Amino acid sequence: MGLFGKKKNQKQAQQEQQKTQNEMKIYIQGAGGTIVTKSILDGTSKLKWMFRQESEHGNGWVAFGDTDSQEYVDDAKNMAIVDFNTLANIEPTVVNIFYMPVGSDLEFCSDKTGKYFVDTRTGKEIREQVKHPAQLAFEKNLKFLNQKTYPESFFRSLFTENANIKIVRAGEADFPTGEVVLADPLAYLGSKYETLLEKQIPAGNYPVELSVCLSPIAGLRIAAARLLISDRQAVSYEIAMPQGKCIEDLGKPGVFTFFGVDTGLACFADRKVSEESRLFFEKWTGKNPGKNKYADYFAGLFQESYEANPEFQNQGGSFLEWKLPESGFRTVLFSSGMGDGMYSGYWGLDEKGEIVCLVAIFMNPEYF
């Protein structure tokens, strides 16, 4: 074969390889590298065994074919590292087991009932997609939120530092009237959808503490926020009712205790500060038509907060002490756990039943 013919064949091979890559279906973004026997890749064997091992490189999954002998797999030349989606394009059923933990040892089966995996340790059949651990934790957390109350020990654990929990002083919030609002500061602060609480606190300025959860499956998240109204010890907690409602109204039609979050942010604010925020952004929007409140105003402020205190924030900022430009009143904005949702506040009470703090719960760190 002449040089021209060799170059032509190389070009054709490159084109075919590019075509294959373009046609490959991506089942899981960022799935990482998987060790697969070449017999599976070239079609001389069919998928039979999969196990997951600890790995600093790739996702840890290893796949063997039904004709692979021990001698065959012991030869490194017969193994290849490919994107997990390459294997999934050969046998899509592997998508079901992608999120199973390290140590999983599975046999692939195909019969008249369909295609599925069997856990070789337990004999359990796996016929549906195993959810990501973060998704399972998120679903469990949804059921946990917004209960009437929780044990005092749970609140105490939220604000007790350990390997996975760090307590961060995020700033101070001003309460010139003592009327307390819970709200998403970008979507609902200053609107009819904010939650004005029935109970009030003494006018003043109070620190805001954050319980930062360092989760191995969800990353850095703010599990709870606390407005410290007194240095006295809370011995019990009750859900914070909206204005005009009392604890006895819980469960009645149309009575809601939670506040909505639609931009991934929450805050404690005074009613006067809330109103001033609304007026400020009415003017700002008028002067900045078409611009976005977060991207064009708050993003830079959050970035400054991150650069000043990067240790327990996500890049781009997880909290911000915001000072209103005209009055100088402050409020603290912070990320809300796993993001958007419905959350409730809880009054911490001392032995005399007097308010000592207000806590907003976003996550149960034990789930994450």
DSSP 134-181: HHHHHHHHHHHTT-S---HHHHHHHTS--SSEEEEEEEEEEESS-EEE
DSSP state of 297: I
C-alpha span between 190 and 285 (Å, rounded): 15
The whole-number average pLDDT for the span 25-46 is 96
How high is the pLDDT of residue 180? 98
How high is the pLDDT of residue 9? 55
Nearest CA among 336, 293, 298 for reference residue 316: 298
How high is the pLDDT of residue 18? 52
- Report whether pLDDT(11) > 90: no
- Report whether pLDDT(313) > 80: yes
Neighbours of 184 (CB within 10 A): 23
| pLDDT tier, 7 (very low <50, low <70, confident <90, very high otherwise) | very low
User: Using an 8 Å Cβ cutoff, are 34 and 58 in contact?
Assistant: yes
At 93, give phi and psi (nearest 5°): -60, -20
C-alpha span between 108 and 93 (Å, rounded): 9
- Report whether pLDDT(8) > 90: no
User: Using an 8 Å Cβ cutoff, are 225 and 330 in contact?
Assistant: no
User: Using an 8 Å Cβ cutoff, are 58 and 82 in contact?
Assistant: no
Q: Where are the domains of the chain?
A: 18-130, 144-367
What are the distances in angstroms from CA 106 to CA 39, 64, 118, 151?
Answer: 18, 11, 5, 41
Residues 6+ apart with CB under 8 A from 108: 47, 48, 49, 50, 91, 93, 115, 116, 117
Which of helix, strand or coil describes residue 53? coil
Looking only at the bridges linking them, the beta strands covering 330-335 and 265-270 are antiparallel
- Report whether pLDDT(308) > 80: yes
User: Using an 8 Å Cβ cutoff, are 365 and 359 in contact?
Assistant: no
- Report whether pLDDT(21) > 70: no
C-alpha span between 245 and 86 (Å, rounded): 58
Write out pLDDT tens, residues 208-229. Answer: 999 999 999 899 999 999 999 9
Task: Return mean pLDDT, the chain.
Answer: 93
Which of helix, strand or coil describes residue 231? coil
Pick 11 or 45 by higher pLDDT: 45
Nearest CA among 212, 208, 195 for reference residue 330: 208
Write out pLDDT tens, residues 79-137. Answer: 999 999 999 999 999 999 999 999 999 999 999 999 999 999 999 999 999 998 888 99
The whole-number average pLDDT for the span 322-343 is 96
| pLDDT tier, 3 (very low <50, low <70, confident <90, very high otherwise) | very low
Residue 65, both tokens: 């074919």
Q: Read off the pTM.
A: 0.77
How high is the pLDDT of residue 80? 97
The whole-number average pLDDT for the span 260-284 is 97
Residue 308, both tokens: 């000043």
Neighbours of 133 (CB within 10 A): 17
C-alpha span between 54 and 61 (Å, rounded): 9
User: Using an 8 Å Cβ cutoff, are 66 and 73 in contact?
Assistant: no
How high is the pLDDT of residue 4? 43
User: Using an 8 Å Cβ cutoff, are 334 and 221 in contact?
Assistant: no
Looking only at the bridges linking them, the beta strands covering 179-183 and 204-215 are unpaired
Write out pLDDT tens, residues 47-60. Answer: 999 999 998 889 99
- Report whether pLDDT(347) > 60: yes
